Amino acid sequence: MREKARKKDMKSESLDFVTLKDALRDRNINIRQICIDLYMQPNQYNFVKSPQGEKTPSLRLYPKTDSFYDFAAGTGGDGIRLLSYVRHISDHEAAELLCDYYRLDIRQQDDDTSRRIRQERERKALIKERRNREFHDALFCLISDLKNRTEKYTEMLQNPQIKPFDSLWCFLIQEIEAAEYKLDILCAADCDTYRRMKSDKQSDMPSDRPQWLSDILQILGAAGRFTATEGEIQQIRQAINREANRKPHVKSGKGAA
């Protein structure tokens, strides 16, 4: 029995939690799915009952950050911690349970393999950082160019030689309107189109930011300033779908309709 327990401890210690989280993320298994499969079904507001024992659910899941917080006990954490908390087991045992349930083989490899995995993760992080920098540089550069173009064409309209409604006057007006329309999107100034740039965590109201990013990429691409990869476009589409399916939290009470 002791030998069996010792092997189990060695097996648990061999787990790499970072690699496990990466494997879960690659399989699109977030904390809500873990809760559904291995604990209980959350309600529409991502609340479940605390293992402390209660009538009203006070443990809330946050799928966007892949975390939870139990307001009854004042504790929280990631998906591994959630499972260890609700099952009353150690984090290592929870990690083993996740590996077995989802059939994930992420045992810690030798030093060379671990180093290659770490280097690959760092390489991807550097690529993401570089792409973000290129995106912001292209965005601010185009904003500056459009503002300069608007000012230049507006100044040209003051020339008395340009008569209202002639071909040049119409061209300048169209260019100014087109530039201002793009600036409204790039600067998120069009409040009628983009209602909320950040999701409301209290009410679970959706955010228009993913759609805004999609519109920006279209403008930057058409201007030849920045071309998004298929992977980047897919991520934004998934974010748009998540926000579109977000259910608003309606508070019950005397004031509720």
Q: Which residue has the higher pLDDT, 55 or 70?
A: 70
Give the containing element (helix H, strand E) for 76. strand 75-77
Can you tell me the mean pLDDT for 212-237? 93
- 3-class SS at 249? coil
Claim: this prediction has a pTM higher than 0.75: no
Does an H or E element contain 218, and which?
helix 209-222
Per-state percent for the chain, helix, strand, coil, to nearest 5: 55, 5, 35
Residue 201 clears pLDDT 60, i.e. is over it: no
CA-based diameter of the chain, in Å?
98
pLDDT for res 113: 67
Confidence of residue 120 (pLDDT cuts 50, 70, 90): confident
Confidence of residue 108 (pLDDT cuts 50, 70, 90): low
Asked whether 95 and 12 are in contact (CB, 8 A), the reply is yes
* Contact between 79 and 31 (Cβ < 8 Å): yes
pLDDT digits (tens, 9 = 90+) for 46-59: 999 999 887 889 99
What architecture does CATH give domain 2-102?
Alpha-Beta Complex (3.90)
- Tell me the pLDDT band of 15, cut-offs 50, 70 and 90: low
Given the structure tokens 């998540």, which residue do they identify?
A: 242
Place of tokens 């990690």: 95
- Looking at the chain, the domain(s) classified CATH 3.90.580.10 span 2-102
Higher pLDDT residue, 199 or 35? Answer: 35
The token pair that represents 99 in the structure block: 């590996």
Q: Name 238's Cβ contacts closer than 8 Å, sequence gap at least 6.
A: none
Pair 96, 84: CB distance under 8 Å = no
